[in-house]
A and B are shown apart, each in its own frame.
Chain A
Amino acid sequence: MTASNTDTDCDVCIVGSGAGGAPVAWRLAKAGQSVIVLEKGPWLTDQHFRKDELACCRRAVYTPEKRLEPHVVEDRDADGAWVAKSTAESGWDFWNGNLVGGSSNLMSGFFHRLKPVDFRQLDELGPIAGANRANWPISYDDLEPYYDQVEPLVGISGALAKHPNIEPRSSADFPYPPTLEHPVSAWIDEACERLGYHALRVPRAILSRGALGRRACEYSGYCGSFGCSSGAKGGARAAWLTPALATGRCAIRPRAQVLRLLSDARGRVTTAEYADAEGKVRQITAKRFVVACQAVETSRLLLNSPGPKFPQGLANNSGQVGRNLLFSAGGSGSGDLEYAALGAERAAALKTMGPFVNRALDDWYLIEDKGFAGAGNERRHKGGIVEFLLAHPNPTGLANRAKWRDGELVWGLPLKRRLEQWFRTDRTLRFEVFCDWLPTDDCFVSLDPKVKDRWGQPVARIRIGHHPHDLQVGRYLADKAERVLKELGAARVRSSISGAPPPNLMAGGCRFGTDPKTSVLDADCRAHEVENLFVTDGSFMPTGGSVPYTWTIYANALRVAEGMLG
């Protein structure tokens, strides 16, 4: 790659190759700019992604070893006091796919847009005590054209049907027909209809037919947490980086751990300093820098990058970097559909492997129920969605849980009979609840004063406090979802709503806004205080909405890139 400016190595240096960084790389390279992407993880290709439970889910293969690269998590103990523990000791893991393309390689590809209300929660729904609710500085209408652009570029499969909560769209339908659907999807439709609910067909960032130089989905039945071997999944590597590389103006440097960003006396970023695979410290200079390392690590990098104008960390004279960290609130539940109760034909149908469920409920994206006693405005509350899915087919995790019964270990023939029961007699239908994690002063990223990583850098210290209102919303939605499972005749219907964060669903930490005192970025996701620094992962979100973030991150990254082109 040849840089277009002899003063710098490239026009734009992007830190992080996932959902936030890759669309920017594609858009700018396509427009003729020279781009270098620094990614801390390895560069794996489709051929490396096998249906390997050990690799995906049971060993630190796509994530760093926690003893070498820990985080420190602050959680409340039973008395309510904050207690900090290193993940090297606790077993928590806040890493989410350190490889080219980032964690989007491993997503399930449930693709939902935000709804207009998500952009003006404070105005529409009012404040909640103890929460830092805020409006976005842009509207849904500002982002909609980019949501629309993402659909054909990434390859979103779906079918639009009349639905009461559908958000405004500029295209009549999705560019690819829906992925194949499991027989249970029709059962869910019927159950919802009987209950007066509106089952929503979920768009997937998975190609239902070959296109864009990628193969169609092969319906292996393993998707979430696994990399895609056909290229059908629209993760950042397949959807954005491959065409970015094809321009000849984009280069990716894997195994490049960015240690800090250097800034000059004017407050401009000049250099990204990184450690390569051999541990040698190297530098990249660029005219502009884009940070997209996922919420926790983006904040950590800025905090680890003080400069002449930024004694508290890059772009952090407001003290806002790391604040208002978000996760997806909610929880999950399940019920067991027993083969014996279904009859032979339906039991055989239920055993079908491969096709997707693709069903969700968004009837309560806004809760207007007098019976709901949440915090804040008494009439209307932000709700969320319920996503249905079959229990993941990973067998080892399930089997390992079978060894415990009432807190006691089970082994020998009792364990074997239990395994037969668990694996052969039913299939578990699950649901996941996605609702807003209210931003609060008790959820943020800082630098740990003692713990350092393998490169000697202070690690991120993550406080994970949640707002009690989140649990009320989650419980409300879980109760609705349980009704669907019961209507389906499922046995052992249960659910749990928790204030524990799902670390793979994170955002916030560098919220965008119009006031530099309360936000890190402006409406263009440029740092208020640093004219050549942009943040394009989910860090920019002041509120997270109630759906998985990836489509919104893609769309916003395209919007920011468009703005960078002027």
Chain B
Amino acid sequence: MIRRAPPTESLAPVAATRAELHAWHNALLDRRAFLARCAGVTVAGLFAPMLAEATIAEADQPAKTLSENERMMLIDAVQQHLFPSESEAPGAREINALPFLRFVLKDAKTDPDEPAFILNGAGWLEDLSQQRTSQSFLALDSAARESLLRETAASEAGENWLSTLLLYLMEALLTDPAYGGNPDGIGWRWLEHIPGYPRPDAATIYPRLP
């Protein structure tokens, strides 16, 4: 028997105290509530709670209009920063993190508020980058990207956004290749993980179940 552990975005260990579970449930509630709040919120309200007063007015403007493709390019860059490639270990690019995320964004099982949150987050990050550096996030070097992402993580929304990207990075790394990530089991081989069988294939992945 598996005592069911808290699902998906758990902040708690498998065995949690009641207080921890309270905190976890409150966090989840906050997450849903805050996903709903995110629509229409500007970068000042989300990613930059510690912006200097002088910059608040400038920051509290609607995010720059970016195409979905531009947002996905930004997310691609963030994914590669969060999970860099190494000669001995796959990174975001090798595990097909971006194609996997595209699957998630279009999947009917994904929380309907989540695709908008993920895509909007890219716009907010770009705004923050412009305000901080007068450059696109894509133009920054690794150290500057790290600094900006650390600042992002200091806010509730920013931490949630990065946590969400990391969640789907881990899925791309270790879920079955039938879903587009983890090509040829590259993530499994790296972490010496043995998958179960029979594995899903194109006909039996969950969107195809009756």
Contact = CB atoms under 8 A, between A and B. Distances in A.
A110 interface: yes
A403 B170 contact: yes
B159 interface: yes
B192 interface: yes
Contact of B1 (A47, A89, A224): A224
Main secondary structure of the interface of B (DSSP, over half): loop
B172 to A, nearest CB: 9
B8 interface: yes
Interface string A376-392: 00000000000101001
Nearest to A77: B22
Interface in A30-62: 42-44, 47-48, 50-55, 57-61
B1 A432 contact: yes
Contacts of B6: 91
Contacts of A74: none
B140 interface: no
A404 to B, nearest CB: 6
A171 interface: no
Contacts of A229: 198
Contacts of B149: 411
B73 interface: no
A267 interface: no
B118 to A, nearest CB: 16
Given A52-B200, A423-B193, A416 B89 contact: yes
B2 A399 contact: no
A353 B197 CA distance: 12
Interface string B4-42: 111111110111111011100100110111000000000
B77 interface: no
B3 A401 contact: no
Nearest to B25: A90
A75 B25 contact: yes
B162 A409 contact: yes
Interface string B157-190: 0010011001100110111101100000000101
B83 interface: yes
A226 B201 CA distance: 16
B110 to A, nearest CB: 8
Given A396-B171, A498-B17, A409 B159 contact: yes
B4 A395 contact: no
Contacts of B86: 413, 416
Nearest to B109: A59
Contact of A224 (B2, B176, B204): B2
A47 B210 CA distance: 12
Given A50-B199, A91-B28, A498-B21, A396 B170 contact: yes
B194 interface: yes
A424 to B, nearest CB: 5
A59 to B, nearest CB: 4
A127 interface: no
B191 A89 contact: no
Contact of A218 (B13, B82, B197): B197
B81 interface: yes
Contact of B15 (A78, A218, A333, A411): A333
Nearest to B111: A67
Given A48-B204, A225-B2, A226-B196, A395 B191 contact: yes
Contacts of A499: 18
Nearest to A222: B196
A548 interface: yes
A51 B192 contact: no
Contact of A60 (B3, B29, B109): B109
Contact of A55 (B14, B173, B200): B200
Contact of B206 (A61, A90, A91, A413): A61
Interface stretch (A179-187, A317-325, A435-443, A502-510): A502-510
A495 B15 contact: yes
B82 A503 contact: no
B29 A90 contact: yes
Contacts of B2: 108, 224-225, 389, 392, 432, 504
Nearest to A221: B196
Interface of A: 42-44, 47-48, 50-55, 57-61, 65, 67, 75, 77-78, 85, 88-93, 107-108, 110, 218, 220-222, 224-226, 229, 328, 330-334, 353, 387, 389, 392-393, 395-397, 399-404, 407-409, 411-413, 415-416, 419-420, 423-424, 430, 432, 434, 494-496, 498-500, 502-505, 548
7 contacts: A52-B178, A65-B109, A90-B25, A333-B15, A412-B84, A416-B84, A498-B18
Given A75-B22, A396-B175, 12 more contacts: A48-B209, A52-B176, A58-B7, A221-B194, A226-B196, A330-B3, A395-B174, A396-B170, A397-B10, A401-B13, A407-B11, A504-B4
